């Protein structure tokens, strides 16, 4: 176990060292991605300056929501997105076969050897929004609320990593997964708004089969003391449990697909 951990840590170090060879481009990438997100957030801010609230959410509340969403996403995606997004090519190019002849779990190898530090922009933007918004939304700090903040963020990161893993695992069986990633991001965008503004079908979907509602909507609602439809008093527990449950489901699905793997590339 200790040896495995040190190996995974070494993989991360190798990747980070590679990326740091091109420092200037890294800083630019951070800025650029932060800027890209800021564009969308500005649009939401404009709506809120003109209309006061979206479904009862004020701008500081929305800012906390968006910051939480961005930070939770970045924490999960830095381990998964870039390395697993190309799963289709990894499988079809035969690279996955190469992973299977090494004495290591192929998922762990992919995830840690691809650890991506390009999410600095996301993390700064997410943290910035949270830090700016927190004093203005009047949260009464206590042990449970602090637990909710940090536990919720970890849950959010787990959900992101799990969803991306599930989509990428499809490539093991179907040999393609790229367009499924497109679909994931469509729902991901939905989860950037309070779920209560959507039709009930979508609310239910975001709280069950596509658990992206737990990325920010449920935990931030709990923090702000806002009611959560369907979950009610159960919301805090659901929020903290969603991440670990998603991880278990994703791990089972990955194994299911791996058993059906039929090789790729000749």
Partner 1 sequence: MSAFLALVSASFRREAHHRSQMMMRIVGTLIEILARISIWHAVYAGRGAVDGISIGQMIVYALIGGTLLSSWDATMIVRDIGTTIRTGAIGSSLLRPASYPMMLMAEQLGTRLFDWLFISVPVIVIMGLIYGLQPPASLPHCLLFIGYLAVSVVIVMLTAMLVGLFSFWVFDAHSLEWFMRGLLAVLSGGLVPIWFFPGGLAEVARALPFSWITYHPMAVYLGQHDLFWSVQHLLIGLGWVAALALAVVVVWSRACRQVVVQGG
Partner 2 sequence: MAAIISAEGVGKVFQQRVSQPGILGAIRSFVAPVTRPVHAVADITFSIAAGEAVGYLGPNGAGKSTMIKMLTGILTPSVGEVTVLGRKPQQERVANARDIGVVFGQRTQLWWDLPLSDSFELHRRLYRVPDALFSKNRAALSDMMELTSFIERPVRHLSLGQRMRAEIAMALMHDPKILFLDEPTIGLDVVAKDVVRKFLSRINRERGTTIILTTHDLQDIEEICPRLIMVDEGRLLFDGTLPALRKSFGARRRLTLEFSGDPGEVRLVGARPSGGEGLLREFLLEDDGRSLVQLLAALEASSDVRDVRLHEPSIEEVIRTHYQSKGSAPAPVTGRPAVPA
* Interface ranges with partner 1 (CB under 8 A): 24-25, 28-29, 31-33, 35-40, 42-43, 46-47, 49-51, 53-55, 179-180, 182-183, 185-187, 189-190, 193-194, 197-199, 202
- Euclidean distance between CA atoms 262 and 266, whole angstroms: 11
Q: How far is the CB of 29 from partner 1 (least distance, A)?
A: 5
Backbone angles phi, psi at 54, to 5 degrees: -110, 115
- Judged by beta carbon distances under 5 to 8 A according to partner kind, the member of partner 1, partner 2, none in contact with residue 49 is partner 1
Q: Which residue has the tokens 């939480």?
A: 68
* Burial (Cβ within 10 Å: 0-12, 13-18, ≥19) of residue 89: middle
- Contacted entry of partner 2, partner 1, none for residue 263, CB cut-off 5 to 8 Å set by kind: partner 2
Within 8 A by CB and 6+ apart from 175, the residues are 88, 91, 92, 264
**Residues 6 or more apart in contact with residue 12 via CB below 8 angstroms:** 112, 113, 115
| Interaction partner, residue 18 (partner 2, partner 1, none; CB < 5-8 Å by kind) | partner 2
3-state secondary structure of 238: helix
Q: Which two tokens stand for residue 213?
A: 């509602």
Pair 219, 148: CB distance under 8 Å: yes
Cβ at position 31, least distance to partner 1 in Å:
8
* Cβ closest to partner 2, residue 3 vs residue 186: 3
Select from partner 2, partner 1, none the partner in contact with residue 134, using the beta carbon and a kind-dependent cut-off of 5 to 8 Å: none
Binding-site ranges for partner 2 (CB under 8 A): 3, 6-7, 10-11, 14, 17-18, 21, 93-95, 97-98, 100-104, 261-263, 266
Which residue's CB is nearer to partner 2, number 100 or number 248? Answer: 100
List C-alpha distances in Å: 167 to 101, 114, 180, 184: 23, 17, 6, 8
Q: Nearer Cβ to partner 2, position 39 or 266? A: 266
CB of 229 to partner 1, least distance (A): 14
- Minimum separation from the CB atom of position 204 to partner 2 (A): 29
The site partner of 103 among partner 1, partner 2, none (C-beta below 5 to 8 Å per kind) is partner 2
Binds 29: which of partner 2, partner 1, none (CB < 5-8 Å by kind):
partner 1
Give the distance from CA 230 to its chain's centroid. 23
Bridge partners of 218? Answer: none
CB of 39 to partner 1, least distance (A): 3
- If the CB atoms of residues 202 and 253 are measured against partner 1, the closer one turns out to be 202
Nearer to partner 1 by C-beta: 50 or 259?
Answer: 50
Q: For residues 159 and 171, what is the distance between their CA atoms, to the nearest angstrom?
A: 19
Q: CB-wise, 4 or 25, nearer to partner 1?
A: 25
Contacted by 183, from partner 2, partner 1, none: CB < 5 to 8 Å by type: partner 1
| H-assigned helices in the chain | 2-20, 23-51, 59-85, 87-92, 95-100, 106-113, 120-133, 143-174, 178-190, 200-207, 217-224, 235-259
């Amino acid at each position: 176990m200790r040896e495995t951990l040190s190996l995974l840590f070494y993989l991360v170090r190798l990747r980070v060292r590679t990326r740091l060879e091109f420092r200037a481009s890294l800083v630019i990438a951070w800025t650029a991605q932060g800027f890209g997100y800021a564009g969308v957030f500005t649009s939401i801010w404009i709506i809120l300056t003109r209309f006061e609230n979206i479904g009862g959410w004020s701008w500081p509340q929305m800012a906390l929501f968006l910051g939480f969403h961005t930070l939770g996403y970045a924490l999960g995606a830095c381990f998964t997105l870039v390395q697993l997004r190309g799963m289709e090519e990894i499988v079809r190019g035969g690279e996955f076969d190469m992973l299977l002849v090494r004495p290591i779990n192929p998922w762990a190898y992919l995830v840690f050897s691809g650890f991506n530090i390009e999410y600095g922009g996301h993390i700064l933007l997410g943290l910035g929004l949270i830090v700016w918004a927190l004093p203005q939304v009047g949260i009464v700090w206590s042990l449970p609320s602090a637990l909710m903040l940090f536990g919720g963020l970890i849950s959010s990161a787990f959900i992101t990593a799990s969803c991306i893993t599930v989509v990428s695992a499809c490539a093991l069986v179907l040999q393609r997964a790229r367009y499924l990633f497109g679909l994931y991001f469509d729902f991901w965008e939905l989860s950037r708004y309070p779920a209560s503004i959507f039709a009930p079908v979508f609310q239910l979907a975001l709280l069950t089969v596509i658990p992206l509602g737990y990325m920010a909507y449920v935990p931030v609602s709990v923090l702000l003391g806002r009611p959560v439809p369907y979950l009610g008093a159960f919301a805090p527990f659901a929020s903290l449990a969603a991440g670990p449950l998603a991880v278990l489901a994703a791990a089972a699905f990955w194994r299911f697909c791996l058993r059906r793997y039929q090789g790729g590339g000749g």
